[in-house]
Amino acid sequence: DARVTQTPRHKVTEMGQEVTMRCQPILGHNTVFWYRQTMMQGLELLAYFRNRAPLDDSGMPKDRFSAEMPDATLATLKIQPSEPRDSAVYFCASGPLSYEQYFGPGTRLTVT
């Protein structure tokens, strides 16, 4: 049963520190998405890739967030420097080109 995996599952860090979250999409999926979920804002799309190329990162604060896909098996989301308002659950999702998306377990980030 193929699944999207994310690491770490939990991260507690201090304000100003760099945070890197990793995602392994399901093998063969062409699209990868990063979402952020908070109580106040719900689910927000941060960035997405198709065939490893970034298609849209308009949902991401550009000054501190960056998303990359160094290869087909790894997507990363980096925050530098982190701030308390970045505390949220970050989900990665991948999908084939049939528009379905399969979500990973998420990374729960707490910035103190």
- Chain centre to alpha carbon of residue 61: 13
Q: In the range 71-110, which residues lie near another protein by CB under 8 A?
A: 91, 93, 95, 97-106
Minimum Å gap between C-beta 12 and another protein is 17
Minimum Å gap between C-beta 107 and another protein is 11
Minimum Å gap between C-beta 105 and another protein is 5
3-class state of residue 75 by DSSP: strand
DSSP 85: G
Q: Which stretch binds another protein (CB under 8 A): 12-20, 43-51, 62-70, 72-80?
A: 43-51
> Does residue number 50 form part of the binding site for another protein (CB under 8 A)?
yes
The Cα 60–Cα 55 span in angstroms is: 12
| Residue 101 and residue 45 in contact, taking contact as beta carbons nearer than 8 Å | no
Element (H, E) at 86: none
- Give the neighbor-by-neighbor strand order of the sheet with 65-71: 5-7, 19-24, 74-79, 65-71
Q: Which stretch binds another protein (CB under 8 A): 10-18, 37-45, 64-72, 80-88?
A: 37-45
Could you say which of 2, 12, 15, 43 contacts another protein (CB under 8 A)?
43
Q: Which stretches of the chain bind another protein, using CB under 8 A?
A: 31, 33, 42-43, 45, 48, 50, 55-56, 91, 93, 95, 97-106
